[in-house]
């Protein structure tokens, strides 16, 4: 009887001791206590691919936008695809291409806060995502969602008269150009312009200034009708002065250097208009990345 009790006690102590496993330590303080480095499977991809069961860290280094398809995670406990708690580390090391993380049909990616759950998430160049299989038939996604300013530029107003010629052609305000560098894809460039102009002419003369933004550099473009300001000279004794301002954003520019300039033209004039003069303008630009 004593022998049986001793054996049972020994087994109980053994189970209690080995319920905690230590690597590099004789006295583990957690279920798994590792005092050293951890090595996981590393795989680099350059195009659309599927996340595998033996992946741990996947690095994307492709030049064009690609997709990483996630395996279907089951919420049924004990099933073959029940891997709740499994983690994957996904890094986009590309300088130009995005990597879209796509969950299986009917499953979602959860980021929390006020971000709506979705079936896919675009991982931009330089960003890291940590995926954890949850018990709700999907994935918890942890990634950097903060906005970073990558570049900014501004010019101060120059007090110098610029006569805007009549006609249908746009005139470039020579103190408006701002230059910014876009280092990666997936950015948003926000442009701000302010200025002061005056319209001269006889009594009851009137008109408008229409504005557009010209883009030069790595890629050329024109963004029309970004603002319009009208003026009216009641007495004709002196010019009527007015302020103008414009805010405009450009998304997903290719990496490179860009110059943005504000342009204007005279429209809708009536009465004896003698001149329209811009006395100063100032521009600024910020390149945002999320």
Contact assessment for residue 262 and residue 178, using Cβ atoms and an 8 Å cutoff: no
Helices (H), the chain: 2-17
Query: Is 133 within the bounds of a domain?
Result: yes
How distant, in Å, are the alpha carbons of 198, 199, 241, 249, 280 from that of 158? 15, 19, 17, 24, 5
For tokens 């890094």, name the residue: 91
217 domain-assigned:
yes
- 169 and 112 co-located in one domain: no
Percentage of the residues of the chain whose pLDDT score is greater than 90 = 53
Regarding predicted confidence, which is higher, 273 or 8?
273
26 in a domain, yes or no? no
Residue 276 located in a structural domain: yes
Q: Strand, helix or coil at 161?
A: coil
For residues 160 and 285, which has the higher predicted lDDT (pLDDT)? 285
- For residue 204, give the DSSP letter: T
Containing domain of residue 133, as a range? Answer: 39-143
What distances in angstroms separate CA 172 from CA 2, 164, 169, 190, 247, one per listed residue?
102, 9, 10, 19, 17
Tell me how many domains the chain contains: 2
- pLDDT band of residue 81 (cuts 50, 70, 90) is low
- Domain end, chosen from 100, 123, 143, is at 143
CATH (domain of 224): 2.60.120
Tell me if 47 is assigned to some domain: yes
One domain, residues 169 and 120: no
Task: Assess whether pLDDT exceeds 80 at residue 91.
Answer: yes
Interval 231-255: pLDDT, tens: 999 999 999 999 999 999 999 898 8
pLDDT digits (tens, 9 = 90+) for 198-241: 999 999 999 999 999 999 999 999 999 999 999 999 999 999 99
- pTM summary value: 0.66
175 in the same domain as 264: yes
What tens digit of pLDDT does each residue of 127-185 get? Answer: 899 999 887 678 898 887 667 787 788 887 777 889 999 999 999 999 899 999 998 77
Among 263, 254, 261, smallest CA distance to 285 is for 261
């Amino acid at each position: 009887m004593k022998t049986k009790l001793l054996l049972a006690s020994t087994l109980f102590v053994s189970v209690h001791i080995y319920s905690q496993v230590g690597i590099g330590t004789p006295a583990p303080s957690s279920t798994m206590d590792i005092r050293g480095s951890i090595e996981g499977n590393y795989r680099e991809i350059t195009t659309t691919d599927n996340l595998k069961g033996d992946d741990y860290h996947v690095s994307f280094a492709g030049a064009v936008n690609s997709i990483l398809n996630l395996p279907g995670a089951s919420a049924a406990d004990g099933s073959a695809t029940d891997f709740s708690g499994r983690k994957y580390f996904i890094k986009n090391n590309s300088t130009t291409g995005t990597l879209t993380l796509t969950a299986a049909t009917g499953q979602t990616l959860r980021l929390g806060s006020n971000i709506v759950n979705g079936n896919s998430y675009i991982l931009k160049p330089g960003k890291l995502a940590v995926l954890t299989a949850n018990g709700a038939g999907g994935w918890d996604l942890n990634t950097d969602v903060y906005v970073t300013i990558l570049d900014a530029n501004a010019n101060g107003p120059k007090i110098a008269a610029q006569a805007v010629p009549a006609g249908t052609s746009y005139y470039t305000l020579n103190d408006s150009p701002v230059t910014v560098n876009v280092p990666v894809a997936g950015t948003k460039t926000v442009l701000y312009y302010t200025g002061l102009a005056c319209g001269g002419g006889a009594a009851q003369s009137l008109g408008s200034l229409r504005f557009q933004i010209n883009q030069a550099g790595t890629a050329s473009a024109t963004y029309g009708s970004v603002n319009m300001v009208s003026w009216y000279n009641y007495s004709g004794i002196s010019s009527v002065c007015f302020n103008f301002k414009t805010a405009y954003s450009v998304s997903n520019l290719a990496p490179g250097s860009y110059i943005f300039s504000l342009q204007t033209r005279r429209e809708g004039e009536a009465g004896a208009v003698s001149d329209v003069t811009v006395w100063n303008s100032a521009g600024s630009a910020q390149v945002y990345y999320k």
